[in-house]
Copies of this chain bind each other. A is one copy, B any other.
Amino acid sequence: WVFLWQKGYQETDSVVSSVTTKVKGVTLTNTSTLGARIWDVADYVIPPQGENTVFVMTNVILTLNQSQGRCPELPDDKTECQVKNNSCFPGYVSTHSNGIQTGECVSYNSSIKTCEVLAWCPVEDDSHIPKPAFLQAAENFTLLVKNNIWYRKFNFSKRNILPTINSTYLKDCIYDAHTDPFCPIFRLGQIVEAAGQDFQEMAVEGGVMALQINWDCNLDRAASHCVPKYSFRRLDNKDTAHTVSPGYNFRFAKYYKNSDGTESRTLVKAFGIRFHIVVFGKAGKFDVIPTMINIGSGLALFGVATVLCDIVVLYCMKKRYYYREKKYKYVEDYEL
């Protein structure tokens, strides 16, 4: 019966949640431009704290030592030029420009000339994305999720670090759907795999993942039965054919002051995986009011049966005149 199956006798409430996260892990990269370099949490988690989100940089295009000045624009079909028929217009700027054209046509390299721009120079060249990803070791970084939920109507609150978990266990555990379903520490590679994706492939262009925490609870039972269930999903479309700027990236800059007082910056185009911690859930608890309302509706449904029978008997059957006569009692007018 619907009433019992759908728990129609319960009042329901949806979850109010707060999330904090912490990433751990260190890796070493070795490139010709940067040399050996250690990357730790303060380097690859940007911004250092989010609300329900944490971003881990997995790949990066660095443009070192940019300063305000004039330099050739990146070559594409609109910015390439020849000195003779000048296609550069002073002041011109398009959506995809790195700066504002000066009108000059200058050498980008030995073979190509492009329009000169006023910009942070040299302009970023993001045509080649490092592959494999620069910080491919991010696969083994860990993410600790602390989640506190609250069912306001029932004044019931709980954390995803269950009271049964002790700190020794928490220091070394890693979430596993089968063996450690309540450990709140996740290996990044595992989150991505559990969503059916390939971490190394995703690390190159970035992506958006959801770490879902489901707190569906029946509060008529003991509070210890109300436990979080984790699941994982990829949120951005993997199908690169139909997307502008596939994956996930954004730009930011670190600003420096040179010894002569001028400003320079390092422009960072950060590709990476953004983890959304999505918390949902519904709690139900016995309450007299929805019980009554649902019983009412339920019984009214039985009433439907009577009405339908009557309709069939009185209007559809051959012998309807006979039945109708029996059914209705005609009240003769009193005064007659």
B18 touches A208 (CB 8 A): yes
Q: Chain A's interface: helix, strand, loop or mixed, by majority?
A: mixed
B-facing residues in A28-64 (Cβ within 8 Å): 28, 36-38, 40-43, 46-53, 55
* Nearest neighbor of A210 in chain B, beta-carbon distance: B18
**Stoichiometry (number of copies):** 3
Contact flags (1/0) for A175-202 with B, using CB distance below 8 Å? 0000000000000000000000000000
A257 cross-chain contacts in B, Cβ below 8 A: 256-258, 264
Interface: A98 (CB within 8 A): yes
A48 cross-chain contacts in B, Cβ below 8 A: 46-47, 250-252
Contact flags (1/0) for A316-333 with B, using CB distance below 8 Å? 000100110010010100
Docked complex Cα distance between A98 and B152 (Å): 41
A293 cross-chain contacts in B, Cβ below 8 A: 2, 294, 297-298, 301
B253 touches A144 (CB 8 A): no
B118 touches A38 (CB 8 A): yes
B41 touches A251 (CB 8 A): yes
Known A47-B49, A244-B170, A292-B301; contact A251-B97, beta-carbon cutoff 8 A: no
A128 cross-chain contacts in B, Cβ below 8 A: none
- Of listed A142, A245, A329, residue having the most chain B CB within 10 A: A245
* Nearest neighbor of A333 in chain B, beta-carbon distance: B319
Interface: A171 (CB within 8 A): yes
Q: Number of contacting residues on A, CB 8 A?
A: 105
A298 cross-chain contacts in B, Cβ below 8 A: 293, 296
Contact flags (1/0) for A282-299 with B, using CB distance below 8 Å? 000000010011111111
Docked complex Cα distance between A331 and B309 (Å): 15
Among B20, B236, B255, B300, the residue within 8 A (CB) of A254 is: B255
Known A48-B47, A96-B24; contact A120-B300, beta-carbon cutoff 8 A: no
Docked complex Cα distance between A145 and B273 (Å): 17
* Nearest neighbor of A41 in chain B, beta-carbon distance: B251
* Nearest neighbor of A172 in chain B, beta-carbon distance: B95
Interface: A223 (CB within 8 A): no
B-facing residues in A69-119 (Cβ within 8 Å): 93, 95-100, 118-119
A100 touches B28 (CB 8 A): yes
Q: List 5 A-B contacts (CB under 8 A).
A: A28-B100, A28-B118, A47-B47, A167-B241, A295-B301
The 3 A-B pairs at the shortest CB distance, nearest first, are namely: A48-B252, A300-B300, A42-B253
